[in-house]
Structures are given as structure tokens and as C-alpha cells.
Structure 1
Amino acid sequence: MVVCGIDEAGRGPLAGPLVVAGVVFEKKVYKLNDSKLLDEKKRETLFEKIKNASHHKIVIIDNKTIDEKGLSFCITKALKEIISCLEAHKYIFDGNSKFGVKEIEPVIKADMKIKEVMAASILAKVTRDKIMCELSLKYPEYNFCKHKGYPTKEHIELIKKYGLCEIHRKSFRPKALQPTLF
């Protein structure tokens, strides 16, 4: 049975794109794991091996589209695009939601259990991390290469100091940036 593993990177950051990847293996790749459990060097090595051993699709959705259409719409759009590009008997997405896409089979912690989803996790994370490091060159004051746009204490402090830039998600409103009543 042909399985397409799907995972995303960038659902929760305050800046940058959402990246969703799908992978259907043609050849085996060894030493896979959830991208969050691998160091950067190992992810980069596996990234090339996965690309060379699979049919894959990487969908990148920018912060402006996320702000205009909403995160759920963007994930749904990416899932449909991957399904239209990759043939499989099963489409397994990491998580607990189908996002309204009937072909999707959600599996909680699939990125730790299913090799195709592990691979998709690596493709999505490495792609997004590269984008954020490139954006860090354009916006050096935000240090995007370090925190990748996630709501770290450092990132929140930099937003307080410099304000939002054009790659920030304006629709995301973390409590730390909300005005207080007192």
C-alpha cells in the first residue's frame, strides 16, 4: 500500500510562512525521526536523502495569506494541493484533524510513528528554517535565524522594541503583546 505522509512546520509562529510537505517514498531512507528530535545537521542530511528517495510536494503559504484567509483555510488548501500532486492509497496527516479533507487520515504523533510523516516533517521544517534564515538577512534586528519566528521571549522583546515587520502575522495576537488594563 502506498502511503503519503504529510506534516507541517510553522503553524504557531508570529512571523513567516506555513510550510506543508507530503512524501511518498520510492526507496528506503534510514534513521528517520520527528524533525524536532533531530539536530539541524542531521535534518539537513536527511532532507537531501528524502528528496532523492521520494515523490514529494512542499507547499509554502506566506504570512499575508495566513492573515487574510486564516490558518485552517491555508492548511486545507495545502492538503488538497499535496493530494492533487501525489498519488497514494492513504494520506496520513500528523495531528487530530482532517481539516475537512475527506482523503486525509489524521494520526496523533504520526511524526514519531510513520516514516513517511517523519520525512514530511523534516522536509517542512528544513524548508521553513531556510526561509527564516534568509529573511533574517533582510530583517537582522529580529534575529529570525535563531527563533524562526516562534513566540520566544527574545522575539517578543524584539517586537516590543522594533514593532512588527512585513513578514509578521498581524492576525496573531500573543498575550505578551496585548495592552493591559493596569
Structure 2
Amino acid sequence: MSHSSAIRILGVDPGLRVTGFGIIEKHGQQLHYVASGCIKTPDGELPERLKVILQSLGEVVAQHQPQLAAVEKVFVNVNPQSTLLLGQARGAAVCALVQAGLPVAEYTALQVKQSVVGNGHAAKEQVQAMVQRLLNLSGTPSPDAADALACAITHAHNGLGGMGALASQGFRVRGGRLI
């Protein structure tokens, strides 16, 4: 892969009510904003809501033609039912990406915050501010879009031959170290 060629990355912050998406391009070491937004599911039955996520992400991929995707991993909530629902929304998102033929990388919220803000326990507002700054945006993105853009930024920094790529070679990265 040539350093002069642009790589388009789609980041996804899955949620059953709101799934954020963000697309960036990496040109060498420079990151450029392409698009972002939120997929909002209507109230109603779970299968219909999952269908909205699946179809809408498919449309985002078709429109913007990313080459890579990065999805935030599910964290365990205090409420197991909420965790299960979030996992199903995430599953629909991953299926849309895989169905489109995209390689999918996964990052925890801690990894994303550490990569973008430098603090794994950063507040949503800090993530929004850093995404705005890193991508030179004129306004602050919504929290869901900012998380998705942060996921794409994390993959741009860590997943393209960086330490994130080592995880796919049988190594694990913990605290910035290989284990």
C-alpha cells in the first residue's frame, strides 16, 4: 500500500436507539473528514430495529465506499438485558460491514479514548473536542458521531500496520505493550 494513496475508514459506534457512523480518509499521516451521522431506529420490535441498522449501514457503505471498518466493542452494563440488546445492535452493524466485504477491526471504548484523547476514561465531551480538533471540524459532532469518528481515527493510528495489526498476528496489546 502506497503512502500517497488515500485509505477510507468507516468507524461505527453501535447502539440500538442510535448508531453513530463516521468516515475519514488517511493520506499519509494526515486525516481528513469525509462524513458522519447517526442512524436512529424507531421504537418498536427488535427485529425491525436491527433491520434499520443493517440496511442503513449498508447504504452508508454503498454511498461512501470505505475500504476498512472499525467498530466499538460492547462493554458489559450493570443491566444484562441492556448488554444483550446492545450486542444485537452491534451484531447487525458488523453483519452490514461484512456483507459489504469490508475487513472489520474492533476496539474497546477504553482503547478508542486512549488513542484519541490520551486518557482511557475521558468524558464524552473530551472525545468530541479532540475529534473536532484532529479532523479540523468547524463544529462539534454529536456524541454518537464523535465516538464513531474516534473509532475510525483509532484504526487509522493503530490498525494500519501499527500495534493494532499485531493483534491479528496472534499477539495481544495491553496498555500499549505486546503480551
TM-score class normalised by the smaller sequence: 0.3 to 0.5
Higher relative contact order (CA 8 A, sep 6+): 1
TM-score by length of 1: 0.38
Greater strand proportion: 2
Higher CA-based Rg: 1
TM-score by length of 2: 0.38
